[in-house]
Amino acid sequence: MRRSFTLGHAVRVPGIGLHAGRHATAVLHPAEAGHGIVFYRNDVDAFIPALSEEARSFDHATTLGVHGPDVGTVEHLLSALVGTGIDDLLVEIDGPELPILDGSAAPWLEAFHRAGLVRQSGAPEPFVPAAPVAVTGPHGKRIEIRPARDLRVSYTIDFPHPAIGRQSITLVITPESYARHIAPARTFGFLAEYEALRAHGLARGARPDNCIVVGEDRVENGDLRFADEFVRHKALDLLGDLALVGRPVLGHIVAHRGGHALHTALAHRLREEMLGEGTASEAIAGASLPG
């Protein structure tokens, strides 16, 4: 039987936003069973639920908030919540972006352990799709989920870069496997794209201590934590975007060269199936194409 948790007490997590480059402080508050994951922007007094219909931007991160203030770079925290089994949490944040910390989900796990986990009664029933569901994008991008009794991720990436190339991972997600094999994997960026990203208001908080810096033919800022750290981080992002279904999911997810837009499109398809609303909306389907 799946266990469901919240935190034992509030915990404060400060840091720098990866894209805006602004200092940000997140405070993770325990929440009652059935509350779900909700972000609260205390600077503008706005609540933003972590649901697929709130996803509005996928440019190198996932941003939530369609009808008002938004909150960005939510995927690493959401991933840590999925990996740990935390279903109910209020995330208070004092600006438009969560802190990037070291670029992985491991510091979020450390925050959870500082606060302690409290088991919730009445754990939400995991959602299992009735049949395979697939979403495709340009350049051969594809993601599919197949019904299964556990949550399993098979992810493949293929970058024409000597430091990355083709990498694959398959893993059954449990709190233990997530903490060991997925959470420490850091986000990455290409040095050749840095100035262009900054010109578009992105990567302004990127530093050698919060991301993997990929140069012309090698990693520029130290050793990797895993030989295949790049694909592990893609799996980390996928699990964070899967949180937007709004309920735990069981299934075997097979992803090839995905990204936030494709991950979120799949989450929206699953959420619509769960709610009995039919096929994905045009807005989400359209948003999946560029990413």
Name the active-site residue from 29, 60, 260, 268.
260
Asked about 260 being catalytic, the answer comes back as: yes
169: nearest Cα among 181, 179, 187: 181
> In whole angstroms, how large is the CA radius of gyration of the chain?
18
**Structure tokens belonging to residue 177:** 């496997």
**Structure tokens belonging to residue 7:** 């935190």
* Cα 95 to chain centroid, rounded: 19
List Cβ neighbours of 198 (8 Å cut-off, separation of 6 or more). Answer: 204
In the block, residue with structure tokens 């509005």: 56
Neighbours of 135 (CB within 10 A): 25
Classified as helix, coil or strand, 44 is coil
**Structure tokens belonging to residue 201:** 């208001």
Q: Please tell me the distance from the alpha carbon of residue 41 to that of residue 224, in angstroms, as a whole number.
A: 34
Catalytic positions, please? Answer: 260
